Structure 1
Amino acid sequence: MTLVLFEIVVKSECVDQFKGLLEAELPNTRAYDGCQHVTPFLDEDGRTFVLVEHWDSKEHYEKYMEWRAAPGPGFASLGDLASLIEGDPSIRYFEALEA
């Protein structure tokens, strides 16, 4: 299992829009092949979001990100996200240990 931490800082004027995007798009993410769980968290600064995601593997997540990168009708792409955030997202991967 792979744990993914996806962190972004949203522009102050776009926080409500981003929250709406999460509400609309997380069901698509959760339904994507290999996704076990996704939970969004908001920092006390009110603009920094971390999505804590569990995936079957890093490869499943990378395939999902390729899908998100391609614009398509009826869903938000990474390009749509780029206009709402400051800087680049931070994406960190962790592999589960047998302990």
Structure 2
Amino acid sequence: MSVVVILTLKAAEDQYDQLAATMQAILPDTAKREGAELIRAAGDAEARTVTVYEEWDRIESQQAYMAWRTERGDIATLVAMLREPPELKVLTKLF
């Protein structure tokens, strides 16, 4: 069953530009991962927030992707730029 994942990243005081640049650099690889159907991101510089919208063929594909990012150290790098833990919502795609 297809899923939608919404990830909200809140940058630390001086980290928004770096966070936005990092996401722009890594999300093309995300879009190429097996099971990725749609990957989009938007930023709000004033609120220092980046929101990522992902559609995956199934939750297992997204979980495999996250394991890959964790193994590479990408998740730790991103978390170091944040003022609070990432917010992750997983929803069942209806349409």
Question: Under a length normalisation based on structure 2, what TM-score does the superposition of the two structures give?
Answer: 0.89
1:56-95 mapped onto 2 (5 Å cutoff): 56-71=57-72, 77-95=74-92
Query: What code does the residue aligned with 1:38 have?
Result: I
- Could you tell me how far 1:90 is from its partner in structure 2? 0.8
3-state SS, counterpart of residue 12 of structure 1 = coil
Question: Under a length normalisation based on structure 1, what TM-score does the superposition of the two structures give?
Answer: 0.86
- Could you tell me how far 1:20 is from its partner in structure 2? 1.3
Cα displacement string for residues 9-32 of structure 1 (whole angstroms, at most 9, x for unaligned residues):
001211111121112111110111
Number of residue pairs the alignment of both structures matches: 94
User: What is the aligned partner in structure 2 of residue 34 from structure 1?
Assistant: 35
- Could you tell me how far 1:96 is from its partner in structure 2? 1.8
Query: What code does the residue aligned with 1:91 have?
Result: L
Q: Does 1:5 align with 2:2?
A: no
Identity, % of aligned positions: 23
User: What is the aligned partner in structure 1 of residue 25 from structure 2?
Assistant: 24
3-state SS, counterpart of residue 86 of structure 1 = coil
- Could you tell me how far 1:61 is from its partner in structure 2? 0.5
3-state SS, counterpart of residue 34 of structure 2 = coil
Q: Provide the rounded CA distance (Å) in 1 between the counterparts of 2:44 and 2:22.
A: 17
Listed as ranges, the gaps of 5+ residues in structure 2 are: none
- Could you tell me how far 1:66 is from its partner in structure 2? 0.4
Listed as ranges, the gaps of 5+ residues in structure 1 are: none
Q: Provide the rounded CA distance (Å) in 1 between the counterparts of 2:45 and 2:82.
A: 17
**Contact between 2:20 and 2:50, CA under 8 Å: does it hold in 1?**
no
Compared CA separation, residues 94 and 82, structure 1 to 2 (3 A)? same
